[in-house]
Amino acid sequence: MPFTWQISINRSRNAAGYVYAPAVLDPVAIGDEIIFINNDSTPHWPGLVDATGMAPSSATYFMRYQIPPHTSSTPWVPGVNGTVSFADSLDTKPSPPAGTIVVAGITTVPE
């Protein structure tokens, strides 16, 4: 069965005040589940970044609802291979923290 991965949204001293950890999740396979854990004291709502690098539209959120502080999201499941960039739609500041999920199929892990 697929694996489950976590991306934490942690408080940070950077300008945005938060950071994704890990900012790049790799390797991930089709069917794996990814949940976001909001360790921040404000809500977050990560979603796919479109081709122009703009904040995600309502059709491309990772989850239906924003993630309240100190809670977790519902899972996001990659259905296709590719590299997915994401950012927080609630963060309207320029150049908000971004992250990447690399969906690259199942590869052999060295023993």
> Does residue number 14 form part of the binding site for other proteins (CB under 8 A)?
no
Scan residues 19-78 and list those touching other proteins (CB under 8 A).
21-27, 29-31, 33, 35, 37, 43, 45, 47-48, 50-51, 59-68, 70-78
Contacts of 96 by beta carbon, 8 Å cutoff, 6+ apart: 16, 55, 87, 88
Q: Minimum distance from CB of 19 to other proteins (Å)?
A: 12
List of residues 6+ apart from 83 with CB closer than 8 A:
100, 101, 102, 103
Q: What tokens does 76 get? A: 């996001």
Question: What is the contact surface with other proteins in residues (CB under 8 A)?
Answer: 1-6, 21-27, 29-31, 33, 35, 37, 43, 45, 47-48, 50-51, 59-68, 70-80, 82-84, 100, 102-103, 105-111
